[in-house]
A and B are shown apart, each in its own frame.
Chain A
Amino acid sequence: MAQIEIRDLGIDYRKPKSNEVFSAVDSVDLSVEKGEFVTIVGSSGCGKSTLLMAVAGLVDLTRGSIEIDGKRVDGPGPDRAVVFQEASLLPWRSVRGNVKFGLEMQRWSGGDLNERAMQMIRLVGLGRFSDYHPHQLSGGMRQRVNIARALAVDPEVLLMDEPFGALDAQTREIMGTELLRIWERSKKTALFVTHDIDEAIFLADKIVVMGRNPGHIKEVITVDLPRPRNEAILDSDAFHELRKRLRAHLAEDMSSMQLVQEVA
């Protein structure tokens, strides 16, 4: 059985100041194997974050179910860790303090907290910056800390919501390669939300393409590019082929979005 089993998932949000409900995600079925790297793409507002937060146990499910290793998700758990879309580092804690945060919350018992945190900080290449505070770091460095904090608790599943969304294209590429290097060593199951097509292909074993109104899965594309991967792969024919396919999907979505706006 797959590690993550999402069955007929639906999530409604209540509209503020009314009883109307808005369906953000509907009829989503997805299974993810252990150690698989799955990217989720789709236009803005199609429910990518909602889907990820549901797996994290941070939003209530309206319909359907999510199981991880056969256990039903009904809240956050130590088997999952999230890297958020925005920087969510506590400004009053140093890099090390931030990486220790998750360990403290989970009452980590696997040895010295400081040592564990330092190990993770070095893993993401920030060894010299462990005493810095977040405002002294660049955006890319902050996201490395976010990743280190999530990896520190040694989760089975790593959930990442556009962790590189706020970075420039160049830094983004470097971070992507770094992430693969780290992931290839740990072989954790990863769900990675992005709306960057190249990033989605570059990282993935499997790409989940989402559509909107309500958020649903349009297609799941398997990526057979060899690993380990580096930037050279961006120019391969197979990559171009996948890029073309994804572009078509997203363009379709954009035009349906315009249609909705015109009707409204």
Chain B
Amino acid sequence: MRSAEMTAEPAETRQLSLSFLRPSRSAVIGTLAVLAFLVLWQIAPGIGWVNGRFTSRPTEVFLAAIDIFGNDNFLYHARISLTEFVAGFALAIVVSIPLGVLLGTSKIARYLIDPPLMALYIAPTLVLLPIMVIWLGIDMAPKIAVVFLGAVFPIVLNTMAGMSEADPKFLRMARSFGATRFDIFTRVLVPGSLPALLTGLRLAVGRAVLGVIVGELFVSQAGIGYQLNLYGSAMRIDRLLVYALIVSAFGYTLTVIVRSVENKIRDWRSK
């Protein structure tokens, strides 16, 4: 059985896709629509369609952006918010992955903890914000807590689902080769539940960003939410829009990164 015989095989075909260099029709139409919108937005207050005080103008927003990045202490506030985000999210990961694994592999643990977990996942964790403030003060701590609470449940639940819904065919196959329980855990369950875990992370990103901003809006002394409050009272639409864009861009970028990893992994799964 040692000798190897090569049968005729079709040559490997792997095409390099260059399509991203050619703008697609939808990209062209999209860009044109955005440009048209910007032009309309710019001239609408001038011709009296809308009140410029409430709508601002693209040029004003652009200037406000330069001002914010130049001398609005932007980095200071961004660092505060980012710290709250990272601390809360990291804490959520540290707690939720082991918990999700435990719940996914132990039926008893699952029966015990699943219903309250589900309830907490569905309930908006932001309702706990006032309590967090009473307990933890008005510094970063209550925001970290809210980020943690927002992020922890989607990760736990998705990790758990990924683990417990492992394909029994794979488990039987692994056992047939004499796999130990530990082998099955590390070589079948963990890689098999990775896509679900990433889905959990992606859902958690949105909730965590929301937690930081709402937490700071509610009560704070610094951070992006604090700035939003400040410029809201001053009716500075231009600056509010710049901050809105920054926050969306941050959440969007993280989501896109996680999703691209997720898609790469899902590619391996049979369709």
Bound pair (A, B): yes
Interface residues on A, range: 35 or more
Note all chain B residues with C-beta closer than 8 A to A91: 268-270
Chain A residue at minimal CB-CB distance from B3: A185
Note all chain B residues with C-beta closer than 8 A to A88: 169-170, 172-173
Q: Which of A115-142 contact B (CB under 8 A)?
A: 119, 122-123, 125-129, 133-135
Chain B binder among A73-81, A197-205, A225-233, A253-261? A73-81
Query: Is B1 interfacial (CB-CB < 8 Å)?
Result: yes
Residue pair B265, A92 in contact (C-beta under 8 Å): yes
| A88-B170, A90-B191, A133-B268 known; A153-B1 Cβ under 8 A | no
Note all chain A residues with C-beta closer than 8 A to B268: 91-92, 133-135
Chain A residue at minimal CB-CB distance from B266: A91
Query: Is B20 interfacial (CB-CB < 8 Å)?
Result: no
Query: Is B176 interfacial (CB-CB < 8 Å)?
Result: yes
Note all chain B residues with C-beta closer than 8 A to A186: 1
Note all chain B residues with C-beta closer than 8 A to A192: none
Note all chain B residues with C-beta closer than 8 A to A84: 169, 172-173, 176
Cα of A185 to Cα of B9 in the assembled complex, Å = 22
Residue pair A135, B9 in contact (C-beta under 8 Å): no
Cα of A151 to Cα of B192 in the assembled complex, Å = 25
Note all chain A residues with C-beta closer than 8 A to B2: 119
Taking a contact as CB atoms closer than 8 A, the residue among A125, A128, A134, A182 that contacts B270 in the complex is A134
Residue pair A92, B270 in contact (C-beta under 8 Å): no
Q: What string of 1s and 0s marks CB contacts (under 8 Å) between B185-210 and chain A? A: 00110011010000000000000000
Note all chain A residues with C-beta closer than 8 A to B12: 128-129
Q: How many residues of B contact A (CB 8 A)?
A: 32
Cα of A133 to Cα of B268 in the assembled complex, Å = 6
Cα of A133 to Cα of B271 in the assembled complex, Å = 12
Min CB gap B13→A, angstroms: 11
Taking a contact as CB atoms closer than 8 A, the residue among A76, A87, A92, A127 that contacts B269 in the complex is A92
Query: Is B107 interfacial (CB-CB < 8 Å)?
Result: no
Cα of A228 to Cα of B246 in the assembled complex, Å = 73
Query: Is A102 interfacial (CB-CB < 8 Å)?
Result: yes
Query: Is A105 interfacial (CB-CB < 8 Å)?
Result: yes
Taking a contact as CB atoms closer than 8 A, the residue among A81, A122, A134 that contacts B6 in the complex is A122
Min CB gap B99→A, angstroms: 23
Note all chain A residues with C-beta closer than 8 A to B170: 88, 90
Min CB gap A188→B, angstroms: 8
Residue pair A125, B176 in contact (C-beta under 8 Å): no
Query: Is B175 interfacial (CB-CB < 8 Å)?
Result: yes
Residue pair A81, B176 in contact (C-beta under 8 Å): yes
Min CB gap A164→B, angstroms: 17
Residue pair B1, A185 in contact (C-beta under 8 Å): yes
Residue pair A101, B1 in contact (C-beta under 8 Å): no
Note all chain A residues with C-beta closer than 8 A to B191: 90, 92
Residue from the set A80, A91, A106 with the largest chain B CB neighbour count within 10 Å: A91
Min CB gap A234→B, angstroms: 21
Residue pair B4, A119 in contact (C-beta under 8 Å): yes
Query: Is B60 interfacial (CB-CB < 8 Å)?
Result: no
Residue pair B192, A92 in contact (C-beta under 8 Å): yes
Note all chain B residues with C-beta closer than 8 A to A119: 2, 4
Min CB gap A24→B, angstroms: 16
Query: Is A21 interfacial (CB-CB < 8 Å)?
Result: no
Pairs A-B, 6 closest by C-beta atoms: A122-B4, A125-B7, A105-B177, A186-B1, A88-B173, A102-B177
Q: List 29 A-B contacts (CB under 8 A).
A: A57-B176, A58-B175, A58-B176, A81-B177, A84-B176, A86-B169, A88-B169, A88-B172, A90-B188, A90-B191, A91-B269, A101-B187, A105-B174, A105-B179, A119-B4, A123-B1, A125-B6, A125-B9, A128-B9, A133-B268, A134-B268, A134-B270, A135-B267, A135-B270, A151-B1, A153-B177, A182-B1, A185-B1, A186-B1
Extra 20 A-B pairs, beta carbons < 8 Å, given A105-B179, A122-B5, A129-B9 = A56-B176, A58-B175, A82-B173, A84-B173, A84-B176, A88-B169, A88-B170, A90-B191, A92-B194, A92-B268, A101-B174, A101-B177, A105-B178, A123-B1, A123-B4, A127-B4, A127-B6, A128-B12, A135-B271, A185-B1
